[in-house]
Chains A and B, each alone.
Chain A
Amino acid sequence: MSLGVFVSDYKLSSDTLERLDPGKTGVILVLNGVWHALLKESGKASSLLDRFSKVYALSEDIETRGMLPAQVDGRVKVVNYDGLVDVVFNEFEKIAWL
């Protein structure tokens, strides 16, 4: 996949992510971005998970917030820092932080 985008916020202040081609873009949830993988606001999972087929979340940032990787939406692959390095080098041609 071409571009791996780090998402570090839950409520995005930018609409850039919505404009990126989901066919070429994957998402890496870190810091408060991990809430996308965990919450079901009004019973509904984050629309980001519907839009992008390749989504990763950082286990350390999940656990820092008192949550468990087991609570993560099944569409999200949980990785630790070590695994995240491999994701960055092996799963995407380029990366960006929104």
Chain B
Amino acid sequence: MGDVKCAFIVQKPQYKGETSRLAMTHALAYQTVEILLEDGDTVTPSLCFVGEGVLGITKGQKAMDIYGITSSESHLKNCLLVDLDVYVCKEDLDKFGISVDQLPDAEEMGAEKTINVVPFSEIAKKMDEAKHVLFF
């Protein structure tokens, strides 16, 4: 069956509910799914943040210090480190007054990928291209 593309669309903000965080941890599992699949089969998620989903993904988070839980920033950096494609909706960043330089990168961890800030039309394209669309 080869590669199955999935669009993981995060539309809820981080930290109150669990769903938005689970989008990242589930996406990260793409690295290990091969142990359960036939040779040559893969699952490739695109992780996309839209609407209020762009809230709670900026850098400088202190969730571990304050609540003792891994920060969403840290999950996001791990996603970049394992070469996931991460997209953040530009219109929504603009709407909430969040600048691109507030978004984290994982360069210090050795990640080659960075967050792609794109118009919603690009994210819609990812949804079109995907076999499955999952809203978190």
**Interface residue ranges, A against B (CB under 8 Å):** 2-3, 14-16, 19-21, 24, 94-98
Contact = CB atoms under 8 A, between A and B. Distances in A.
B124 A21 contact: yes
Contact of A15 (B9, B51, B128): B51
Interface residues of B, number: 16
A26 to B, nearest CB: 13
Given A21-B124, A97-B135, A16 B130 contact: no
B52 A14 contact: yes
A2 B12 CA distance: 23
A96 B52 contact: no
A1 to B, nearest CB: 12
Contacts of B12: 14
A14 B133 contact: no
A98 B133 contact: no
Nearest to B131: A94
Contact of B51 (A2, A16, A24, A95): A16
Contacts, number: 31
Given A14-B51, A94-B131, A98-B135, 10 more contacts: A3-B133, A14-B12, A14-B52, A15-B51, A16-B9, A16-B135, A19-B50, A21-B124, A94-B130, A96-B133
Interface of B: 9, 11-12, 50-52, 120, 124, 127-128, 130-135
Given A3-B127, A21-B124, A16 B134 contact: no
Nearest to A15: B51
A21 to B, nearest CB: 7
Contacts of B135: 16, 96-98
Nearest to B132: A94
